[in-house]
Amino acid sequence: MKTSIFWLLILVFASLSFFSGCKPKTPKVGILMHSYENERWTKDKDYLVENLVRDGAEVLLEMADNDQKKQIAQAALMIKEGVKVLIVVPINQDEAATIVEMAHEEGVKVIAYDRLINGCKLDYYITANSTQIGELQASYLTSLKPKGKYAQICGSKYDNNAMRLFIGQMNVLQPFMEAGDIQLVYSEFTENWSPAEGSLHTTRILDQYPDTITGIIAGSDAIADGVLSVLKERGLEGKIMVAGQDAELDNVKAIIAGTQTCTVLKPLKEMAQITADLAVSLAMGKPVKIKFTTESNGKTLVKSILIDATVVNKNNIESTVIASGLHTSAELGQ
């Protein structure tokens, strides 16, 4: 009898050990944000965390204050702490390749979020379609004024998205230029995506072409803020068309007021959900059932998802910005 009880206890303990060993561990996923320099990045962070937690991940989050060396150090610490996947918004698209190389040495996958990382065997890239965004910006302005002098303040020269925006804008502007209807009198990339850069370049534009500019296409709403401040100083507020992107609260208000012409609403919720779902599947070793396209980063063809965005103007704010949940009617004073 004692022998039977002994073996029964052995079986019980063995069963407990077996099922305990099979219990899935909570996967660790790291998020490396470049900064929260404007409102949209806080939204991105919140959406990513919300979706990752919902999918069952433990989230490690760091922000690098636009310091690439700091972000690389943060990545190294997260890898040491056992993350299985890193979601990275890089500061410098070339220098951030170090993060991918470090991660791969420890078997960690890397998803570049909204900004491509160049010169490495990057695993995944999820973003809004910046070429399409550039096309939306230029198409809307030229639909209002198909003739005149246009200027581009393209965005950061360290971010691949700025070049894609430029290409999209040129896809639209080039036929008008060839027909002699539009003159592109200024086209420059910036050091970063800040209002200060918008102010700097707008001052240069207006000093060269006072009172003759038809439209300025800004790489982001932050840059557009700088554009608008200089236009106000020069008494040109509302007289020169201004396009931006990101649908920031103050910029949507500027569209309502008639000082900014349009912006572009990025599908932040969709981007965050797809990214989180992918990250958790990778972290848990589950099959990834997503259809990818590919984007070259100069080293490899990266599995990518490019999501289309939507132009926002004074006539469709309710059906775009408010309907998306990015801003409420109350926030916009509607």
State whether 260 and 280 are in the same domain: no
For every one of its 334 residues, what pLDDT tens digit does the chain have, with 9 covering 90 and above?
445 554 544 444 444 444 444 445 789 999 999 999 888 899 999 999 999 999 999 999 999 999 999 999 999 999 999 999 999 999 999 999 999 999 999 999 999 999 999 999 999 999 999 999 999 999 999 999 999 999 999 999 999 899 999 999 999 999 999 999 999 999 999 999 999 999 999 999 999 998 899 999 999 999 999 999 999 999 999 999 999 999 999 999 999 999 999 999 999 999 999 999 999 999 999 999 889 999 999 999 999 999 999 999 999 999 999 999 999 999 998 7
Domain for residue 66, yes or no?
Answer: yes
Domain for residue 20, yes or no?
Answer: no
CATH code of the domain containing 98: 3.40.50.2300
State whether 165 and 239 are in the same domain: yes
State whether 57 and 152 are in the same domain: no
Q: Tell which residue, 130, 108, 126, 105, has the closest CA to residue 117.
A: 126
State whether 95 and 227 are in the same domain: no
State whether 94 and 138 are in the same domain: no
Domain for residue 78, yes or no?
Answer: yes
Domain for residue 105, yes or no?
Answer: yes
Q: Tell which residue, 160, 119, 103, 116, has the closest CA to residue 299.
A: 119
Domain for residue 17, yes or no?
Answer: no
State whether 157 and 212 are in the same domain: yes
- Residue 205 one-letter amino acid: I
State whether 327 and 178 are in the same domain: yes
State whether 178 and 278 are in the same domain: no
Domain for residue 297, yes or no?
Answer: yes
Give the 3-state secondary structure of the chain. Answer: CHHHHHHHHHHHHHHHHHHHHHCCCCCEEEEEECCCCCHHHHHHHHHHHHHHHHCCCEEEEEECCCCHHHHHHHHHHHHHCCCCEEEECCCCCCCCHHHHHHHHHCCCEEEEECCCCCCCCCCEEEEECHHHHHHHHHHHHHHHCCCEEEEEEEEECCCHHHHHHHHHHHHHHHHHHHCCCEEEEEEEEECCCCHHHHHHHHHHHHHHCCCCEEEEEECCHHHHHHHHHHHHHCCCCCCCEEECCCCCHHHHHHHHHCCCCEEEECCHHHHHHHHHHHHHHHHCCCCCCCCCEEEECCCCEEEEEEECCEEECCCCHHHHHHHHCCCCHHHHCC
Domain for residue 12, yes or no?
Answer: no
State whether 194 and 107 are in the same domain: no
Domain for residue 255, yes or no?
Answer: yes
State whether 276 and 326 are in the same domain: no
For the chain, the domain total comes to 2
- Residue 67 one-letter amino acid: D
Domain that holds residue 77: 28-122+268-307
Q: What angle do CA 131, 134, 138 make, to 5 degrees?
A: 145
State whether 319 and 193 are in the same domain: yes
State whether 141 and 113 are in the same domain: no
